[in-house]
Amino acid sequence: MINRRTFLHSATASTLAGFAASPAWAQTAAPAKVTRGGTLTAAIFADPITFDPHLTGNLQGRGAVMAIHDTLFGIDEQGRLAPRLAESWEWSDGGKTMTVKLRQGVKFQDGTAFDAAAVKYNIDRIRDPKTGSLRAGEIRALDKLEVVDASTIRFLLKYPFAAFPFPLTDVAGAIGSPTAFERWGKEYGLHPVGTGPFKLAEYLKDTRTVLERNPTYWREGRPYLDKVILRPIPTDSTRLAELRAGGVQFAEALPLQDIVRLRQAKNLVVSERVGFRWEYFGFNAHAEFPGHSKAFRQAFQWGIDREALHKVAYFGTGSIGFSGILPGSPFFDADYHPFKRDVEKAKRLIGESGLSGPISITGPLQPDPVKQRAAQIFQANAAEIGVQVKIEQVDSAGYRSLLQSGKMPMDLQGWWGYRPDPDQYLAILLHSSGSYARYHGYNDPEMDKLMLAQRSAGSEAERKAIFGKITALMNEDAVYVPWHYSSDFKGLSPKVKGFYHAASGIVAFENMYLEG
């Protein structure tokens, strides 16, 4: 159920920030009056660490990489694939071949030409095990790459895969200069050269990243700003203080507990984007854990109080969720609310679970205040239906290693961040070969069939119908119990214009400018 007010709010924020009905990144019709020049300082949550598109991991690194490099594809405001360095594309051979026409006349920041050979060089670098790129899995479906001519490249896939180009809207599709890769080798991460709107001018780890306007950028007139300075400030309250004191004009990851108060503030614009990530409680279905019983897992679909989780853990931001398909996605079904809290039904399911004696389950938890509140509500809800939940405090690495070991009885803090196509994470969670499915012991042949069907489906409508079935089956199997769609919050000085809040949380600085 999407809360009408949050939707309205995000729309207002985007309007304020110069919304245009064209692809998010494009805004071909520039706003009537734009102030050029100036420096925008943005407070970010963590250091970008590396500007190597094939090695970067965190959101901040991806954002900076994309400002410097540009990607093959973009995402429009309807959540669909849009041209960027790729001008057009065509599917053939039953969804197994994608021929891409590249933009011509584009130059890298070192003056070398962007062409099909450069694209092939980059994709090959991801696939080369020597690179050790974590992106390799995202383009697993790729069999061969053919350079047809300087501005045409053909992707030959191992199997029909409709979602294939979507990772190429992110860092996997960021194209760096082959000359620079050859020159710098492992040190490319500190000397990136792309075709993007900004060049890396200075990088001081944990202090600042200075991006400078690329005067030869292929989009006429962009970027408007001369400079963007990214300042990593890890403490929420300090980031906010800097924004309010005017030390920065833009801040990401605003603390949830302050949102209501900040919206009243005069010298500040709060932008909310629903559909930034979704949350679930996960169960381990391996035989040694209570989660092996389907009825036990299903009990939580009815037993958890999503309303309380939404209001208490998230302070009423975002919206209650019942699926892994995010609002804003073309595959999202706004009318799907299959569960209403029913403690009696949940108790009955626990009774049918075949589990005897006092049922107890342990889940690790990181010291994140939102997830701590959520886990406490979950614990209380579980107690009501006769299940004792033990919470074990761990740090992020501890949680990850427990998850990857396949020995985590339950996941109290499961979440997935926005990806433009649901296949990008649902396959990992639900298809029996996906890593999360393996960690959770999830293996449903019917689900595997649906996942494959969706990949080779011919149209978006067809895929949407199959994703509906996938969601229903995911909830029936209840290895993942979805409960929330969470929002991303950014704070802006009222002087900052041209901001579009993308669901990825990544900021296109090229469209932004400072008023007056």
Partner 1 sequence: MQFVIKRVLAAIPVVFLTSVIIFSLMRLLPGDPITVMAGQSQSDASPELLQQLRHQYGFDRPVYVQYGLWVQRALSGDLGYSVYNRLPVWDVLRPRILPTAQIGLTAWILAILVSLPLGAYTAVRMNSWVDWLGTALALIGAAMPYFLTGGLFIYFVAMRGGMLPASGFVSPFVDFWQSVRTTILPALTLTFALIAVLTRQARSSFAETMQLAYIRTARAKGLGEGAVVFRHAAQNAILPVVTILGLQLGSLFSGAVVTETVFAVPGVGRLLVDAILSRDYAVVQAVVLFITLSVVLANLLVDIAYGLLDPRIKQS
Smallest Cα–Cα separation from 55: which of 111, 153, 149, 134?
Answer: 134
**Cβ distance to partner 1 smaller for residue 366 or 372:** 366
Smallest Cα–Cα separation from 283: which of 273, 293, 275, 274?
Answer: 293
Q: Is 404 in the site for partner 1 (CB under 8 A)?
A: yes
Taking only Cα atoms into account, the Rg of the chain, rounded to an integer number of angstroms, comes to 23
Out of 427, 451, 457, 496, the residue judged to bind partner 1 by CB under 8 A? 427
Out of 29, 245, 287, 334, the residue judged to bind partner 1 by CB under 8 A? 245
The encoded tokens of residue 158 equal: 């191992």
The encoded tokens of residue 250 equal: 């833009």
- Which neighbouring-strand residues pair with 147? 153
Per-residue interface string for the shown chain with partner 1, residues 442-481, x marking contact by CB under 8 A: ----------------------------------------
Half-sphere exposure of 469 (CA within 13 A, CB side): 14
Out of 5, 36, 205, 390, the residue judged to bind partner 1 by CB under 8 A? 205
Q: Is 400 in the site for partner 1 (CB under 8 A)?
A: yes
Interacting stretch for partner 1, rule CB under 8 A, among 84-92, 192-200, 226-234, 325-333? Answer: 226-234
The least CB distance from residue 248 to partner 1, in Å, is 9
Interacting stretch for partner 1, rule CB under 8 A, among 79-87, 245-253, 293-301, 333-341? Answer: 245-253
Q: Is 206 in the site for partner 1 (CB under 8 A)?
A: yes
**Cβ distance to partner 1 smaller for residue 58 or 152:** 58
Beta pairing class for 86-92 and 152-157: unpaired
Please say whether the beta carbons of 192 and 65 come within 8 A. Answer: yes
**Cβ distance to partner 1 smaller for residue 151 or 486:** 486
Q: Where are the beta strands (DSSP E) in 322-358?
A: none
The encoded tokens of residue 52 equal: 């190597």
Task: Specify the amino acid at residue 271.
Answer: S
Please say whether the beta carbons of 249 and 496 come within 8 A. Answer: yes
Q: Which of residues 112-151 bind partner 1 (CB under 8 A)?
A: 129, 132, 134-138, 140
Please say whether the beta carbons of 309 and 374 come within 8 A. Answer: yes
Out of 142, 402, 430, 514, the residue judged to bind partner 1 by CB under 8 A? 402
Task: Report DSSP letters for 450-506, one per residue.
Answer: HHHHHHH-SSHHHHHHHHHHHHHHHHHH-SEEEEEEEEEEEEE-TTEES----TT--
Smallest Cα–Cα separation from 425: which of 411, 409, 414, 412?
Answer: 414
Per-residue interface string for the shown chain with partner 1, residues 158-177, x marking contact by CB under 8 A: --------------------
Q: Is 233 in the site for partner 1 (CB under 8 A)?
A: yes
Interacting stretch for partner 1, rule CB under 8 A, among 55-63, 290-298, 380-388, 442-450? Answer: 55-63
The torsion angle over the Cα atoms of residues 250, 256, 261 and 263, rounded to 10 degrees, is: 50
Separation of first and last alpha carbons in the chain: 40
Please say whether the beta carbons of 434 and 447 come within 8 A. Answer: no
Smallest Cα–Cα separation from 200: which of 90, 110, 277, 92?
Answer: 110
Out of 401, 446, 449, 461, the residue judged to bind partner 1 by CB under 8 A? 401
Preceding peptide of 223 cis, ω within 30°: yes
The least CB distance from residue 449 to partner 1, in Å, is 20
**Cβ distance to partner 1 smaller for residue 28 or 405:** 405
**Cβ distance to partner 1 smaller for residue 64 or 359:** 64
The least CB distance from residue 287 to partner 1, in Å, is 21
Please say whether the beta carbons of 373 and 391 come within 8 A. Answer: no
Out of 254, 304, 428, 470, the residue judged to bind partner 1 by CB under 8 A? 428
Out of 96, 125, 199, 231, the residue judged to bind partner 1 by CB under 8 A? 231
Out of 152, 179, 435, 456, the residue judged to bind partner 1 by CB under 8 A? 435
Interacting stretch for partner 1, rule CB under 8 A, among 153-161, 258-266, 384-392, 396-404? Answer: 396-404
Q: Determine the size of the site formed for partner 1 (CB under 8 A).
A: 52
The least CB distance from residue 398 to partner 1, in Å, is 4
Q: How far is CA 169 from CA 163, 369, 431, in A?
A: 11, 32, 23
The least CB distance from residue 506 to partner 1, in Å, is 14
**Cβ distance to partner 1 smaller for residue 3 or 131:** 131
Helices (H), 84-235: 116-127, 178-184
Report the interface residues with partner 1, using CB under 8 A.
49-50, 52, 55-58, 129, 132, 134-138, 140, 186, 189, 204-208, 231-235, 237-238, 241-242, 244-247, 394-398, 400-404, 416-417, 425, 427-428, 434-435
